[in-house]
Amino acid sequence: MTNRYPLTILLTILLVMSLAVAVLAQGSDEPPREADREAPPREPIILAQNGPNTILQLPPLADTYIASERPNQNFGSDALFLGYNLAGGDNFGAQRMLLRFDIANNIPEGAVINSAVLRLHLSFSSPVNDTPMGTVLRRLASPWSEFTVTWNSEPAWTMVDDTTFVGSTLTWYEWEMTEVVQNWHLETYPNDGVEIIGDETVQQRERAFYSRETLTEFFPQLVIDYTDLNDTEPPTVTVEELPTYSLRNFTVQWSGTDTGGSGIDYYDVQVRIDEGEWMDWQTETTATSAEYSEGENDRLYEFRARGVDSSGNVEAYGDPEASTTVDTLPPTVTVDPILPHISTDTIVTISWSGTDSGSGIQYYDIQVRTNNGGWALWIPQTLATSAQFQAPTDGFYAFEARAVDELGQVEGFNNQAEATVFVDAEPPFLTSQTWLPTVIIVP
């Protein structure tokens, strides 16, 4: 699955951006009560998107507060008050906030909710420099209307889902709502919104937050990080290129991507030999490499792969994506046997040649033996096919060659002479009558 933008980082950036405004607003007056305002139209905002991962900011569908000392009064157009209001004889008593967001029409079906955070911006604190107030967020379990709900018609609420301390600094405060939003999305229970309750001790201690009716950018926000698994696109899988020639056992590798977002569940890999019929080789595997161990010399092996993602989308097989020819035989090399029986010159030209039906000759090794001694490497790892041999003394010299191919396969020395020469450059010189009896050729 592709990486997501960390939600906490984005929210931290938003908090910092609003801090300057918050400091300047410390002296704000209490928001007006019983206001007659309409919420401006707002659309969800995509804060970040990376493939199937999205961070979405939702405006509220409805928000209000209820007050215990005004048990039959509705405040659907006001700011959002919390805590306890005891301002002389005209008090509002305990105040609780209600909010609801549209999850069903904004999160794709089948998406996975990674995190969700409710953000409210404080606009007023009483006392101004009050210590942080503890609050609890509870999921509501019965419906309510923004413009009719009252203290006496307060909806039912459930257990505490999160707690947050709200200070007196006019900035953003957050409540964690991941599990609540997950269950709304899965329709485990109806989305009736949430209620936030603060300190309701009888005293003058309250907070006010911007509501959706504000004309500023401080309206309530539900920020949701989700991954859309509504994937209709199959993966794209490719077999990695193979060398032109391979040994009997060779490794095949493949890789893939799934832009649809659900991720690759498994791979299927097929092989065909000498352009024959395609055969299944690896099926429903999660591995991305395997060793092919059935190679036969001078046969062409081709491979292709497909992927199946977690949403069941299957990629169609295509043309061959990688091919190699198996080479299991070493080269064959021979020293040219046409040499003079007797050379009166200490320098003798030695030639050799080789063939390789597969990957080709990488280099030659040439060895020499003097009289009846042991074999010694004369020329190692050469690409030349001839060289001049400088005889150190008169004597009988034998030569043998071998080769190594591009795959490292070695023909091997047999320690058998492939060409011989008798060097007689110093008197007394051999004659044709004396040469045969005096020279013993050791194979």
pLDDT digits (tens, 9 = 90+) for 323-369: 999 999 999 999 999 999 999 999 999 999 999 999 999 999 999 99
Residue 408 has pLDDT above 50, yes or no: yes
More confident residue, 436 or 163: 163
Q: Write down which residue in 180, 206, 227 finishes a domain.
A: 227
Beta bridge partners of 285: 267
Q: Write down which residue in 326, 349, 381 finishes a domain.
A: 326
Task: Please check whether residues 80 and 115 belong to one and the same domain.
Answer: yes
Note whether 226 and 114 are within 8 A (CB).
yes
Cβ atoms < 10 Å from Cβ of 42: 14
Task: Please check whether residues 298 and 371 belong to one and the same domain.
Answer: no
pLDDT band for 392, please (50, 70, 90 cuts).
very high
Q: Is residue 443 assigned to a domain?
A: no
Q: Is residue 167 assigned to a domain?
A: yes
Per-residue pLDDT, 366: 97
What is the pTM assigned to this prediction?
0.54
Q: Write down which residue in 191, 210, 227 finishes a domain.
A: 227
> What residue type is assigned to position 263 of the chain?
G
3-state secondary structure at position 401: strand
- Which tens digits make up the pLDDT trace of 285-317? 999 999 999 999 999 999 999 999 887 899 999
Q: What average pLDDT does this structure show over 244-258?
A: 96
Cis peptide before 32 (omega within 30 of 0): no
Half-sphere exposure of 234 (CA within 13 A, CB side): 13
Q: Which domain holds residue 274?
A: 236-326
CA distances from 103 to 125, 223, 231, 409 (A): 31, 11, 20, 66
Q: What average pLDDT does this structure show over 143-150?
A: 97
CA distances from 79 to 21, 38, 441 (A): 18, 12, 114
Q: Give the distance between the most distant pair of CA atoms in the chain.
A: 146
Task: Please check whether residues 271 and 348 belong to one and the same domain.
Answer: no
Residue 219 has pLDDT above 80, yes or no: yes
Task: Please check whether residues 188 and 222 belong to one and the same domain.
Answer: yes
- Which tens digits make up the pLDDT trace of 56-99? 999 999 999 999 999 999 999 999 999 999 976 789 999 999 99
Task: Please check whether residues 220 and 266 belong to one and the same domain.
Answer: no
Per-residue pLDDT, 233: 87
Task: Please check whether residues 183 and 108 belong to one and the same domain.
Answer: yes
- The per-residue pLDDT of the chain, averaged, comes to 90
Task: Please check whether residues 338 and 213 belong to one and the same domain.
Answer: no
Q: Is residue 303 assigned to a domain?
A: yes
CA 124/CA 209 separation, integer angstroms: 7
If one counts the domains in the chain, the total is: 3
Q: Is 149 exposed, middle or buried (0-12, 13-18, 19+ CB in 10 A)?
A: buried
